[in-house]
Amino acid sequence: MSALTEFRSKRSAPTPIEATDTVHFSSTRRRLTPAQRKWAEETGFDAKPGGVCLLADANGKLARVLVGVDRQDALGALAALPTTLPAGEYTLDADSVPLDAQLSALGWALGAYQFTRYRKAKRAPATLAVDTATFETLAPLVSATALVRDLVNTPTEDMGPKHLADAVKHLGKVHKAKVHEWVGEELLEANFPTIYTVGRASHRPPRLIELTWGKASHPKLVVVGKGVCFDTGGLDLKPSDGMRWMKKDMGGAAHAIALAGLIMQAKLPVRLTLLIPAVENAVSGNAMRPGEVVVTRGGHSVEIDNTDAEGRLVLCDALAYGAEQKPDLIVDFATLTGAARVALGPDLPALFANDDAIADAALAHGRQVADPMWRLPLWRPYRKMLDSYLADFANAGPSRHAGAITAALYMERFIPDGMPWMHLDTYAWNDGDRPGRPRGGEAMGLRAMFAFLQNRYHA
Task: Judge contact between 7 and 30, C-beta under 8 A.
Answer: no
Which one has a higher pLDDT value, 123 or 373?
Answer: 373
Say what the pLDDT of residue 458 is. Answer: 87
How confident is the model over 210-253, as pLDDT tens digits? 999 999 999 999 999 999 999 999 999 999 999 999 999 999 99
For 47, how many CA atoms within 13 A lie in the half-sphere containing its CB? Answer: 16
Q: How many helices (H) and strands (E) does the chain have?
A: 15, 20
Residue 459 has pLDDT above 70, yes or no: no
Q: Give the residue among 153, 179, 152 at the shortest CA–CA distance from 166.
A: 179
Say what the pLDDT of residue 90 is. Answer: 96
Going by pLDDT thresholds of 50, 70 and 90, the confidence category of residue 7 is low
409: amino acid identity, one letter = L
How far is it, in rounded angstroms, from Cα 409 to Cα 412? 5
Going by pLDDT thresholds of 50, 70 and 90, the confidence category of residue 8 is low
How confident is the model over 324-366, as pLDDT tens digits? 999 999 999 999 999 999 999 999 999 999 999 999 999 999 9
Q: Which of 149, 297, 312, 413 is catalytic?
A: 312
Ordered alpha helix ranges (H), 98-156: 101-111, 132-153
Instruction: Look up residue 202 and give its DSSP letter.
Output: S
Residue-averaged pLDDT of the chain: 96
Taking residues 288-300, report their average pLDDT. Answer: 98
Other beta carbons within 10 angstroms of residue 117's beta carbon come to: 9
- pTM comes to 0.96
How far is it, in rounded angstroms, from Cα 11 to Cα 158? 41
Catalytic site includes residue 312: yes
Going by pLDDT thresholds of 50, 70 and 90, the confidence category of residue 190 is very high
Going by pLDDT thresholds of 50, 70 and 90, the confidence category of residue 13 is confident
Residue 64 has phi, psi (to 5 degrees) of -165, 150
Going by pLDDT thresholds of 50, 70 and 90, the confidence category of residue 10 is very low
How far is it, in rounded angstroms, from Cα 373 to Cα 364? 9
Catalytic site includes residue 375: no
Residue 296 has pLDDT above 80, yes or no: yes
Instruction: Look up residue 238 and give its DSSP letter.
Output: P
How far is it, in rounded angstroms, from Cα 52 to Cα 17? 10
**Backbone region of residue 98 per phi and psi (left: phi > 0; alpha: psi in -120 to 50; beta: other values):** beta
Residue 11 has pLDDT above 60, yes or no: no
Beta-carbon contacts of 63 under 8 Å, excluding residues fewer than 6 positions away, are 15, 55, 56, 57
How far is it, in rounded angstroms, from Cα 223 to Cα 261? 11
| DSSP string computed for 293-313 | EEE-TTS-EEE-S-TT--HHH
Going by pLDDT thresholds of 50, 70 and 90, the confidence category of residue 2 is low
What is the DSSP pairing of strand 127-130 with strand 89-92? parallel
Beta-carbon contacts of 326 under 8 Å, excluding residues fewer than 6 positions away, are 220, 419
Q: Give the residue among 280, 311, 293 at the shortest CA–CA distance from 206.
A: 280
How confident is the model over 59-117, as pLDDT tens digits? 999 999 999 999 999 999 999 999 999 999 999 999 999 999 999 999 999 999 999 99
How confident is the model over 250-285, as pLDDT tens digits? 999 999 999 999 999 999 999 999 999 999 999 999
Going by pLDDT thresholds of 50, 70 and 90, the confidence category of residue 122 is confident
Residue 9 has pLDDT above 60, yes or no: no
Residue 22 has phi, psi (to 5 degrees) of -65, -25
Q: Give the residue among 132, 133, 86, 77 at the shortest CA–CA distance from 109.
A: 77
How far is it, in rounded angstroms, from Cα 137 to Cα 451? 12
In the chain, % of residues over pLDDT 70: 98
Q: Which of 71, 169, 238, 375 is catalytic?
A: 238
How confident is the model over 398-442, as pLDDT tens digits? 999 999 999 999 999 999 999 999 999 999 999 999 999 999 999
